[in-house]
Structure 1
Amino acid sequence: MDRFELAWAAGFFDGEGWANAVAQEGRKTKQPQARINQADPNGVPEVLLRFQRAVGGLGRIGGPYVMEGRDDLYWWQISSRGDVELLHHFLLPWLGQVKLHEFAVALERPSAASRPCGTTDDWRAWAAGLYDGEGSVYLLDHRTHDNYHLAEMCVTQCGRDTLAPEVLRRFAEIAGVGHINGPYAQEEPYSPVWRFKSAAWSDIVVVLESISPWLGPVKQTQAREAREVIESQPPLPRGNPAWGNRKTHCISGHEYASARLRPYLSRGKGVPPRDSHQCLVCARQQARVRRLQKKSVVDDDHRPLSETSAIYLLK
């Protein structure tokens, strides 16, 4: 068996699979099972066929389950103790702790401990499997430039812990870019959602190129289409002439060039700050307010009871 394909299968199972002991009709005891569901309107999903090949032809593929308004559902499944034990053995080096615990429950044995990830090829193959199951690259409309698009990468996982799911933390470590957001509460009985995201196109390219040798055709096509759109757009000019270090007026409308009343006098390095560094009109107004407030506090005891504070301060 190909080690990299097994690592990919472990990542895909971490994202989409489950294992448990299932009570079946006509049996007195629960039977170990493992299953992966995938929806596809065009027939049996290629990722299920690839997973079956990766684990040596183990299991069977069923479906479709048809429901109006939804894509047809297919599944890969094994339902014997021997097959579940064999699958556990195949995927053990890369599986996350959540799925290892599920196998332990299904097989009624202590759970194995997940292993720390690395940046070797087999771990990048694992990341590609997780991305094939839970990841995507999509386009967003630019908020200020019409007909201009931005790309975003996202990998989603559910988890009830206060710490982000282990598989997302692994993916972020392998990617070396991006960040994890969450949790986002869902209606019961659904678990809160966590998301790994990367929005800089240069970072997205780094991740895609890292995992592309093992990425499935659906996500390869999705990434290629996003890349064609992003790289066909002209570069946007950086900044707004009315703001940043080129702005001429503060937010209150004061002109920087005429705000200075006295020539600049150095109190340090001798380098005059740019005019837009601070509005001196606003600074003088704020200083006056502070002086009046301080005077009000210090002199309040000397004010006659018949005299209001406003009249006293105007003296």
Structure 2
Amino acid sequence: MADRQRDPALVAWAAGLYDGEGSCSAYLPKFRKTYRRQMAVSQGGDSGTPPTVLLRFRNIVGGHGNITGPYRGYLYYWKTSRKLVIDEIVQLLWPEISPEKRQQYLEACELARIDPEVNTPQTTGGPTDVAWAAGFFDGEGTVGINRLNPTRAPYRGVEMEIPQSSDDGVPKALLRFKEVVGRGSITGPREPRNPWSRLPSYRWRLSGHLNVEATAGLLWPWLSAVRRIRIEWALGEVHAGLKTRPHQGES
């Protein structure tokens, strides 16, 4: 991998994206008696145009892996099942990825009867935390607008959210994100409503245009163009409402 691709902030961003939408698993191919590992990162996008975050991720991990899709009209995957590539990428991301993703990798190695060669402790509380948080938001985050309670504020409000599923309490990645940005609240667990998920869901949520502006400003240097455009649109809609309606506070 080139030195530019080993930039700690870029690696942290890639680890955040992987924490949000990545997975490592093992499957049993036809006519084989041993399991094979695979890594994947998913992301929604427009038909015919691979999401830029997947292209960016692939570039950071040395150009390895293939991007396929769309499936169901919008879903793309970056994937690799090459043994040496998986180990190289995991070694690169290991200091930044969450305990849940580490455990996934270790379980896949056990099924495939491969001895893992990673033992670096997780890195948190350092200068790359914000880049990691931006990658995490690029993977799972959403920005939207809604109409707040008219007795409190008659204009529309802006919200940021990140959902995560877990069968072992609040996901560590959500807790880390909340700590990094210093705002928002985490709710859950809730029973899964999505047919593609079988685990209880949790959600980090932040509302109020001043809060969203501050959080977006923190993450901005590393956020993807897609998330930046969405944030600018949502804040623009809310600011337009503030100009025509009295300001009565935020949630």
TM-score range for the pair, normalised by the shorter chain length: 0.7 to 0.9
Label 1:29 to 1:36 Cα distance change in 2 as closer, same or farther (>3 A).
same
Measure the CA separation in 2 of the matches of 1:114 and 1:180: 26
Q: Which has the higher contact order (CA 8 A, sep 6+)?
A: 2
Aligned length: 233
From 131, 139, 149, give the equivalent of 1:133: 139
Label 1:114 to 1:231 Cα distance change in 2 as closer, same or farther (>3 A).
farther
Does 2:90 align with 1:94? no
Deviations 1:262-302 (A, max 9, x none): xxxxxxxxxxxxxxxxxxxxxxxxxxxxxxxxxxxxxxxxx
Label 1:237 to 1:75 Cα distance change in 2 as closer, same or farther (>3 A).
closer
Q: Residue 21 of structure 1 aligns with which residue?
A: 26
Q: Residue 6 of structure 1 aligns with which residue?
A: 11
- The within-5 A match list for 1:232-271 is 232=240, 233-234=242-243, 236-238=246-248
- 1:151 and 1:226 in contact (8 A); partners too: yes
From 160, 165, 190, give the equivalent of 2:167: 160
Q: Residue 155 of structure 2 aligns with which residue?
A: 148
Deviations 1:83-113 (A, max 9, x none): 1101111101100001101111222346847
From 212, 232, 243, give the equivalent of 1:204: 212
Measure the CA separation in 1 of the matches of 2:211 and 2:37: 41
The structure whose Rg is larger is 1
**TM-score, structure 1 as length reference:** 0.69
Does 2:200 align with 1:192? yes
Q: Residue 292 of structure 1 aligns with which residue?
A: none
TM-superposed CA distance for 1:205, in Å, is 1.4
> Structure 1 stretches of 5 or more lacking a match?
240-315
Does 2:178 align with 1:172? yes
Measure the CA separation in 1 of the matches of 2:247 and 2:177: 33
- The within-5 A match list for 1:51-130 is 51-65=57-71, 67=72, 71-108=73-110, 109=115, 112=119, 115=122, 117-118=124-125, 120=127, 122-130=128-136
- 2:95 and 2:120 in contact (8 A); partners too: no
Measure the CA separation in 2 of the matches of 1:39 and 1:58: 20
Does 2:224 align with 1:216? yes
Deviations 1:49-108 (A, max 9, x none): 11100111011112233x3xxx33221111121111011111011000011011112223
TM-superposed CA distance for 1:237, in Å, is 4.8
TM-superposed CA distance for 1:147, in Å, is 7.1
Secondary structure of the equivalent of 2:135?
A: helix
Measure the CA separation in 1 of the matches of 2:141 and 2:70: 23
Measure the CA separation in 2 of the matches of 1:34 and 1:3: 21
Measure the CA separation in 2 of the matches of 1:72 and 1:194: 24
Measure the CA separation in 1 of the matches of 2:247 and 2:174: 34
TM-superposed CA distance for 1:124, in Å, is 0.6
Tell me the percent identity: 32
Measure the CA separation in 2 of the matches of 1:186 and 1:227: 30
Deviations 1:96-135 (A, max 9, x none): 0011011112223468475252152x11111001000111
Measure the CA separation in 1 of the matches of 2:109 and 2:85: 11
Paired residue type of 2:202: W
Label 1:178 to 1:147 Cα distance change in 2 as closer, same or farther (>3 A).
closer
Paired residue type of 1:53: N
